Amino acid sequence: MKHTLLLLFLLPSLLIAQVYPQHKPDKNLNELSTEELNQLFDEANLSYKTKAVQAHADTMCKKLNGTLLIAQNDVVLAHKVAGYKVLDKKDQPLSENTCFELASVSKEFTAAAVLLLVKEGKVALNDYLGKYFPTLPYTGITVHNLLCHTSGLPEYFNFKESWWPQGRLTTNQDVVNVLVKYQPKRIFAPGTNYKYTNTNYALLALIVEQASGKKFEDFVRENIFEPAGMTSSFYITERASKIGFSIATGHKADRIPQVIKGLDGTFGDKGMYSTIYDLLAWKKAYFTNYTILPKEMVEMATTAQNQLKGGGTPSEDYGYGWHLEENPYYGHIVYHGGLWHGFNHVLLYYPERDIFMVFLSNYCNRGHRGQTANVLHILCGA
């Protein structure tokens, strides 16, 4: 009797907390079969955990300026909105339809676009960078190296400001031009080390354009956003045309609204805008229904790919567009964070329990710091 004694022990406290199973039995507990008792326990336990998650989300919103969504088995357990699109403008509240610049959460979409082209035979993981950028002064780097951050390319965020065109937003082609013109030294030989570097994904977006013959934004919209039902997602290059959209402004800890300028113009490594419900649609299409990629490619993308030549150990596990963690309590966790110009996010998927959560914030006050672990603790307890 798997849950019988536990149910009898917990029942008084569950009733006090006004937690009930979805289907109340029409028999006394001692008349229920083991199967009926187990179902009763599971329903009461889910109800209890849902209330606990909702209470925790309410507590988070005392500090969070943003939106959050927590789901299990594609059922939304909690979704909350707190704060404002511009912190000091109380007439501009956030909503569940507000779009946030996703920062590095954008990378999982870029990786999926590349893998779609791999599936179609238009890109190979072992293609060398020179195939797409023959003037780049870096040899031995493959598409695989870009995807899992083992290329050794320097971080373009750190380039001298004088290297960039002035008076306009930068483009991905500007990144290539700067690499060709100034030839900043690479960090290490390809495959010999791991270093998370935004340059990799800025170049991957251009590879998607070359291989598909389409603008990156169009390819992603046609092959990812539309099949997934993501109706409120777009890229920085399309932002000006989104008249009537609710779009958040980023704020660093000083609360000053961030102005779009300079390096905001590049995409692939960042530059995508989306909402909590579009990201739930992405989760369903990518992890549940395999609408975007076949199961074997999703498994490849969410398996560590950054193994090093010579048997070295990278500082963390990274797949194709995903950070990975082998957690001592929960096992395999797939996630990505995002931090850019006043936006601070985390998106996490726990495959074993089909738990998905996303916290989006346009204020860098650590409003959701450590909260993914707290939610997992609530949902994965007894």
pLDDT higher at 126 or 34: 126
Band the pLDDT of 355: cuts 50, 70, 90. very high
Tell me: pLDDT of 45 over 70.
no
pLDDT at 17: 46
* Beta strands 323-327 and 234-235, pairing class: unpaired
Q: Average pLDDT for residues 223-249, to the nearest whole number?
A: 97
How much is the pTM?
A: 0.90
Cβ 71 vs Cβ 77: under 8 Å = yes
- pLDDT tens sequence across 46-87: 788 999 999 999 999 999 999 999 999 999 999 999 999 999
- pLDDT tens sequence across 105-160: 999 999 999 999 999 999 999 999 999 999 999 999 999 999 999 999 999 999 99
Provide the mean pLDDT of the chain. 92
List domains and CATH numbers for the chain.
70-379 (3.40.710.10)
Tell me: pLDDT of 12 over 60.
no
% residues pLDDT > 70 (the chain): 88
Band the pLDDT of 311: cuts 50, 70, 90. confident
Q: Which residues contact 341 (CB under 8 A, 6 or more apart)?
A: 101, 103, 250, 252, 258, 264
Tell me: pLDDT of 295 over 50.
yes
Give 177: exposed, middle or buried? Use CB within 10 Å, 0-12, 13-18, 19+.
middle
Cβ 306 vs Cβ 194: under 8 Å = yes
Tell me: pLDDT of 14 over 50.
no
pLDDT at 36: 53
Instruction: Give whole-number Cα distances, 144 to 80, 114, 151, 312, 321, in Å.
Output: 38, 10, 8, 17, 11
